[in-house]
Each structure stands twice: as structure tokens, then as C-alpha cells.
Amino acid sequence: MPLYFAYGANMDAAAMALRCPASCLVGRAELRRHRFIIMREGYASVVRDPGRSVWGVLWELALADVPALDRYEGVSGGLYVKAYQPVAAVGGVKRALIYLGRSATPGVPRPGYLEAVAAAAGAAQLPAAHIREIRGWQRGAPA
């Protein structure tokens, strides 16, 4: 079962239980040398930034759940691409699947999306500074 790092809507345990019922939450994790953005399509992504980090949650992803997750992430339509990145978690650095937005152009979040991501980040007890950063995208790229 591969590890999967979620930093957006898939941090929500209830939503993931519906999308990927055989997958298990592992805990918090940190993707170093990246920063959180909302891309022009209105969804979360991450981009390289050597001085920053993105917090999220790590899932143990059942292989049977991968096709559903690919569909949700719009892989076949080109919204996201799959990659493997090192993430820091309890027990050390681990290699995890991550979905990267194809667009690095900043945008405005879709209605209700950012609130759900921030709520999931709070439920996962991610650092308060990271939750503030997420909320800072409410009207587009933070100043």
C-alpha cells in the first residue's frame, strides 16, 4: 500500500472514507521546500519554494482506491499529475504519492472549497501558521 500525502480537500477524513474506503489515515506530515497555492482552476496545489513547507496528512492508500482518487483529482483531464516526493512524518522521511496541479498560476478558490480545506487542516491539528496561510487565499494570492 503506497503512502499518499494530502494537502487539500483529501485531508478531510470523512470525504476520504467515501472516496477511498480501504485507505487509512497515518497522521500529519510535512512537504519541505514547497508552498501552498490555489491554482487558477480554484483548487489547491503546491509549488517549489526552498524556504517554505506545506503541511498535510499522510494516508496509507489501498491500491484498490487509487483509480477513484485519480478520477477525483482529474488526472485523465490534466488537472493534476502524480509524483512521488519525500515527506517528513513521525518515524522519519517517507516517500509519498502526491498530486501536483498542472497550473502554477495563482487563482481564487472555488466557493466553499477553502473553508473545507481549512476545516480539515484544523481537524488534523496542523500548525496554526499553516492554517492561516490557507485562509489567506480567500480572495486570491495572499499579499
- What confidence tens digit (pLDDT) does each residue in 56-110 have? 999 999 999 999 999 999 999 999 999 999 999 999 999 999 999 999 899 999 9
Indicate the DSSP class of residue 39. Answer: B
Question: Looking at domain 3-129, does it have CATH number 3.40.30.10?
Answer: no
Point out the catalytic residue in the list 60, 73, 115, 133: 73
pTM: 0.95
Quick one: 21 exposed, middle or buried, by C-beta within 10 A (0-12, 13-18, 19+)? exposed
Tell me, what's the pLDDT at 50? 96
Binding-site residues for substrate: 113
Binding-site residues: 113
73 is catalytic: yes
State the cell numbers at 19: 472516496
Please, what's the largest Cα pairwise distance for the chain?
41
State the cell numbers at 70: 485519480
- What are the structural domain ranges in the chain? 3-129
